[in-house]
Amino acid sequence: MVFDAEDLLDEMQYEFSKWELEAESESQTCTGCTCKVPNFFKSSPASFFNREIKSRMEKILDSLEFLSSQKDDLGLKNASGVGVGSELGSAVPQISQSTSSVVESDIYGRDEDKKMIFDWLTSDNGNPNQPSILSIVGMGGMGKTTLAQHVFNDPRIQEARFDVKAWVCVSDDFDAFRVTRTILEAITKSTDDSRDLEMVHGRLKEKLTGKRFLLVLDDVWNENRLKWEAVLKHLVFGAQGSRIIATTRSKEVASTMRSREHLLEQLQEDHCWKLFAKHAFQDDNIQPNPDCKEIGTKIVEKCKGLPLALKTMGSLLHDKSSVTEWKSILQSEIWEFSTERSDIVPALALSYHHLPSHLKRCFAYCALFPKDYVFDKECLIQLWMAEKFLQCSQQGKSPEEVGEQYFNDLLSRCFFQQSSNTKRTQFVMHDLLNDLARFICGDICFRLDGDQTKGTPKAPRHFSVAIEHVRYFDGFGTLCDAKKLRSYMPTSNKKNFDYFSSWGCNMSIHELVSKFKFLRVLSLSDCSNLREVPDSVGNLKYLHSLDLSNTDIEKLPESICSLYNLQILKLNGCNKLKELPSNLHKLTDLHRLELIDTGVRKVPAHLGKLKYLQVSMSPFKVGKSREFSIQQLGELNLHGSLSIQNLQNVESPSDALAVDLKNKTHLVKLKLEWDSDC
Question: Do 180 and 60 lie in a common domain?
Answer: no
Question: Do 468 and 586 lie in a common domain?
Answer: yes
341: in domain: no
Q: Which pLDDT score, from 0 to 100, does residue 344 have? A: 79
Question: Do 236 and 131 lie in a common domain?
Answer: yes
199: in domain: yes
The last residue of a domain, from among 263, 283, 305: 263
Question: Do 26 and 165 lie in a common domain?
Answer: no
Q: Which pLDDT score, from 0 to 100, does residue 478 have? A: 60
Q: Which pLDDT score, from 0 to 100, does residue 20 have? A: 72
Question: Do 26 and 115 lie in a common domain?
Answer: no
Q: Which domain holds residue 10?
A: 2-70
pLDDT range class, residue 95, cuts 50, 70, 90:
very low
395: in domain: no
20: in domain: yes
Give every CB contact of residue 515 below 8 A, 6+ residues apart in sequence: 476, 480, 483, 507
Taking residues 354-380, report their average pLDDT: 93
Give every CB contact of residue 34 below 8 A, 6+ residues apart in sequence: none
Q: Which pLDDT score, from 0 to 100, does residue 527 have? A: 79
Q: Which pLDDT score, from 0 to 100, does residue 678 have? A: 56
Question: Do 161 and 232 lie in a common domain?
Answer: yes
DSSP string, 590-643: --EEEEET----BPPTTGGG-TT-EEEEE-EEPPSSGGG-GGGGTT--B-EEEE
**Mean pLDDT over the full length of the chain:** 81
pTM comes to 0.76
Helix (H, G, I), strand (E, B) or coil at 321: coil
Q: Pick from 291, 280, 362, 359: which is nearest to 327 by CA?
A: 291
The CATH number of residue 178's host domain is: 3.40.50.300
pLDDT range class, residue 155, cuts 50, 70, 90:
confident
Secondary structure element (H or E) that encloses residue 316, with its range: helix 307-317
Strand residues in 221-358 grouped as ranges (E): 243-248, 260-263
pLDDT range class, residue 553, cuts 50, 70, 90:
very high
Question: Do 561 and 510 lie in a common domain?
Answer: yes
Question: Do 59 and 115 lie in a common domain?
Answer: no
The last residue of a domain, from among 263, 285, 302: 263
Q: Which amino acid is at 115?
A: K
Question: Do 568 and 479 lie in a common domain?
Answer: yes
458: in domain: yes
Length reported for the chain: 678
pLDDT range class, residue 131, cuts 50, 70, 90:
very high
Q: Which pLDDT score, from 0 to 100, does residue 112 have? A: 95
pLDDT range class, residue 497, cuts 50, 70, 90:
very low
Helix (H, G, I), strand (E, B) or coil at 570: strand
Q: Which pLDDT score, from 0 to 100, does residue 167 have? A: 93
Question: Do 10 and 140 lie in a common domain?
Answer: no
Question: Do 117 and 234 lie in a common domain?
Answer: yes
Q: Pick from 101, 121, 106, 116: which is nearest to 165 by CA?
A: 121
Q: Which amino acid is at 126?
A: G
- HEC per residue, 645-671: ECHHHCCCHHHHHCCCHHHCCCEEEEE
| Residue 254 pLDDT > 80 | yes
The last residue of a domain, from among 572, 595, 618: 618
Q: Helices 346-353 & 307-317, crossing angle to 10 degrees?
A: 20
Beta strand 426-428 with 445-448: parallel, antiparallel or unpaired? Answer: unpaired
The CATH number of residue 540's host domain is: 3.80.10.10
Q: Which pLDDT score, from 0 to 100, does residue 494 have? A: 59
Q: Pick from 432, 142, 107: which is nearest to 262 by CA?
A: 142
Taking residues 489-494, report their average pLDDT: 77
Question: Do 135 and 252 lie in a common domain?
Answer: yes
287: in domain: no
19: in domain: yes
- Are the C-beta atoms of residues 411 and 377 closer than 8 Å to each other? no
Q: Which pLDDT score, from 0 to 100, does residue 41 have? A: 44
347: in domain: no
Question: For the chain, what is the domain count?
Answer: 3
Radius of gyration of the chain (CA): 28
